Amino acid sequence: MRRAASFLVLLLCLYWTRAQGESGGVTGNDITQTEVQSEILGVIATSDQTNITPDIWAELKELRDMAIEHSVELSNSKSKMEKLEQENTAIQARLTASENEVVKLKIENTDLQSRVTAFEDKSTVLEARMNATENEVEELKRQNADRPKVAFSLGLTDAGQVGPFNTDITLKFSKVFTNFGQAYSPTTGHFTAPVRGAYYFSFTTVDNRIYVGSVVYLYHNDKRVLWNHDYNDEYGHTNLSNSMVLQLEKGDVVYMVLPASYSVYDDRDDRSTFNGFLLFPL
């Protein structure tokens, strides 16, 4: 019975020590074996029971150590838990922020995608227009390359007066200033149309005789298209000048004719000239 009472006292004492350790920050390391033994011995001294074996003391001490150890572990676990909770809160906050960011980015992405689609549509339209324009340019280039270059400017002669003759003659303009496309022949006096088209012609002739009429014709094939006349009733020269746009078929000829009994004049001053060019093919 006494032995049981002593053991109870001892347990109470252990409990007290542990409570001190928790509230006062005393750790298991602070309590030495000697202290524990003297505490226990103090309790033992109050009782006249002395036959408790050292094994019990050792076991008690071990129990107490275990209790302290668990208490410390519990305390450590608690602070670890708190720390983990704090970390968890922080992580959750960051997660929420990230989720918001993702939502925002998704909206931005959708917006960008619709803009890209609109841009692509526009690009296709523009590309189609560009293709059409390129095709037109190619067609125009081809037409331009096919289009013959035809233009001439001629002077009649440096020899002075030509005529009068007994018959009509074709005037052969022998001074070639320009003859692009070689459509005018100084040998025959004929301009020959290389393509069907609209052609422009102009001429000026001078006559130096006085008290006579001055006449020249412009012919398209065998048809007289211009009949020009003046009369010199005083002195100096007469001038005849005219121009015309003719529609010619390929191979048609155009030339100037001096009728019988009339004359024209030219010298180094190029007073009598004949000009023409292709306006556009048809």
Cis peptide before 164 (omega within 30 of 0): yes
- CB of 134: closest distance to ligand NAG in angstroms? 8
How far, in Å, CA of 218 to CA of 241, rounded?
A: 11
Of the chain, the end-to-end C-alpha distance in Å amounts to 142
Q: How far is the CB of 141 from ligand NAG (least distance, A)?
A: 17
Q: Would you say 261 and 214 are in contact if contact means Cβ atoms under 8 Å apart?
A: no
CB–CB of 238/207 below 8 Å? yes
For ligand NAG, give the closer residue by CB, 74 or 128. Answer: 128
The minimum distance between CB 114 and ligand NAG, in angstroms, equals 21
Residue 58 identity:
A
58 binds ligand NAG (CB under 6 A): no
Closest distance of CB 128 from ligand NAG, Å:
4
What's the min distance (Å) between Cβ of 116 and ligand NAG? 17
Choose between 90 and 118: whose C-beta lies nearer to ligand NAG: 118
For the bound state, the minimum distance from the C-beta of residue 120 to ligand NAG, rounded and expressed in Å, comes to 11
- Of residues 121 and 249, the one with the C-beta less far from ligand NAG: 121
User: Quick one: angle between helices 33-46 and 2-23, nearest 10?
Assistant: 140
Least Å from the CB of residue 146 to ligand NAG: 23
Which residues 116-175 are close enough to bind ligand NAG by CB under 6 A?
Answer: 124, 127-128, 131
Structure tokens at 88: 């968890």
116 vs 128 by CB, closer to ligand NAG: 128
Q: What CA–CA distance (Å, rounded) separates 35 from 40? A: 9
Binding mask 70-109 for ligand NAG (x = CB under 6 A): ----------------------------------------
**Identity of the residue, 124 or 188, whose beta carbon is nearer to ligand NAG in the bound complex:** 124
The residue type at 36? V
Cβ nearer to ligand NAG, comparing 59 with 121: 121
Total chain residues near ligand NAG (CB under 6 A)? 4
- Which of 131, 243 has the CB closer to ligand NAG? 131
Helix, strand, coil abundance in the chain, percent, nearest 5: 45, 30, 25
The residues with which 181 forms a beta bridge, in sequence order, are none
Strand, helix or coil for residue 21: helix
Give, to the nearest 10 degrees, the angle between helix 54-146 and helix 2-23. 30
Residues contributing to the site for ligand NAG (CB under 6 A): 124, 127-128, 131
